[in-house]
């Protein structure tokens, strides 16, 4: 007879799978991390894993959503501390580069094939909604502090795409040149902010 868990036990197991999954995925990647490793750490049978997540990829996506939600909250606070939309866009670009450099889980997604592996098992709509909601959340905050004399003609979707595209540059420091990279980020932030905000 399968073991039943209390609500508290379910919460502890789910949180353990997420926190330990983040560590294992960051270190070994999606492909090399097994469900057996995850369930051993959580102290549950392998089959019990599927009571919490439909697949290893769904767990991976849950961790990605949490990481991006934390990043979005951080960026919202950065925006709220700005005095104008132009200043907030500059800060967002610079902070995004720092976040990508510090977060091993997020870095691994883009430096490996983990993202593609995850996509194979997830419905496209789920990922599209995730990307759209995450970036639009920060953009809405930018628009809320926009000054009366500031004009932004570009659509929020285009700005969101631009910010996502810029963030990927952080994985190309070698090609850009490590010695000039910080200066390139500063200049890029100025150019983009001045181009978007009239």
pLDDT at res. 189: 93
* DSSP state at residue 180: T
- pLDDT digits over 188-197, tens only? 999 999 999 9
Helix (H, G, I), strand (E, B) or coil at 187: helix
pLDDT at res. 1: 44
| Domains located in the chain, CATH noted | 1-53 (1.10.10.60), 56-196 (1.10.357)
Q: Which residues contact 27 (CB under 8 A, 6 or more apart)?
A: none
Poorest-pLDDT segment among 15-29, 45-59, 88-102, 157-171: 157-171
CA distance 129 to 113: 21
CA distance 40 to 52: 15
What is the DSSP code string of 59-106?
HHHHHHHHHHHHHHHHHHHHHHT-SSHHHHHHHHHHHHHHHHHH-HHH
pLDDT at res. 2: 56
> CA angle, corner 137, sides to 134 and 142, nearest 5?
135
- Identify which of 101, 102, 81 has the alpha carbon closest to the alpha carbon of residue 91: 81
Is 136 a residue whose pLDDT tops 50? yes
Contact criterion met (CB below 8 Å) for 65 and 130: yes
Question: 140 φ, ψ to 5°?
Answer: -60, -35
Cα-trace Rg, the chain: 20
Is 113 a residue whose pLDDT tops 70? yes
User: What is this structure's pTM?
Assistant: 0.80
């Amino acid at each position: 007879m399968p073991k039943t868990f209390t609500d508290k036990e379910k919460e502890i197991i789910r949180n353990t799978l997420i926190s330990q999954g983040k560590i294992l995925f960051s270190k070994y990647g999606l492909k090399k991390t097994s469900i057996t490793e995850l369930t051993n750490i959580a102290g549950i049978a392998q089959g019990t894993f599927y009571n919490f997540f439909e697949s290893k990829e769904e767990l991976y996506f849950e961790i990605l959503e949490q990481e991006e939600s934390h990043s979005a909250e951080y960026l919202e606070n950065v925006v709220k501390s700005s005095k104008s939309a132009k200043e907030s866009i500059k800060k967002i670009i610079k902070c995004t580069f720092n976040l990508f450099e510090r977060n091993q889980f997020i870095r691994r997604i883009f430096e490996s094939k983990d993202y593609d592996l995850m996509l194979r098992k997830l419905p496209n709509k789920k990922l599209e909604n995730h990307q759209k909601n995450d970036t639009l959340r920060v953009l809405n905050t930018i628009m809320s502090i926009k000054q009366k004399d500031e004009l932004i003609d570009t659509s929020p979707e285009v700005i969101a795409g631009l910010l996502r595209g810029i963030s990927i540059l952080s994985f190309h420091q070698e090609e850009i040149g490590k010695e000039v990279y910080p200066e390139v980020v500063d200049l890029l932030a100025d150019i983009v902010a001045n181009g978007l905000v009239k």
